[in-house]
Amino acid sequence: MTFLDENGAYLDCVNDGINTTSANGKMISRLLMSVSQNEIERTSERTKIGLAGAIKSGHIPHIAPLGYKHEAKKLVIDYSTKDVVI
C-alpha cells in the first residue's frame, strides 16, 4: 500500500471489487494481505515443526552431509569420506 501511495498508483480488481482509491477498498486489500501473510507464517511454522520432528526421529530429509550417508532413512557414518575436510 505504501508503494502504491508513494508512486501515485492504485489497485483496481474487477473480479473482486477491490479499488484502493477508496477507504473501503484499502481496508479490504489490507485485510486480504493480512490473511495471506498469516497463512504464509502458519505454513512456515508447520513446516519447521514437521522437519524438526523428522530429524528427531532420525529421518534427515535432505542430502547427507559430507562424512555421512543415508541408510534406511537414517544418517550413518560414511567411513570412506569421514576424514575429508573441505
pLDDT, residue 85, reads 57
Tell me the three cell numbers of residue 72.
Answer: 534406511
Element (DSSP H or E) covering residue 4: helix 2-6
Q: What is the pTM of this model?
A: 0.59
Mean pLDDT, range 23-43, rounded to an integer: 92
Cross-strand bridge partners of residue 70: 75
Asked whether the beta carbons of 46 and 52 are under 8 A apart, the reply is no
Per the listing, cell 502504491 goes with 4
Mean pLDDT, range 40-54, rounded to an integer: 94
Q: Which residues of 71-83 are buried (b: 16+ CB within 10 A; e: fewer)?
A: eeeebeebeeeee
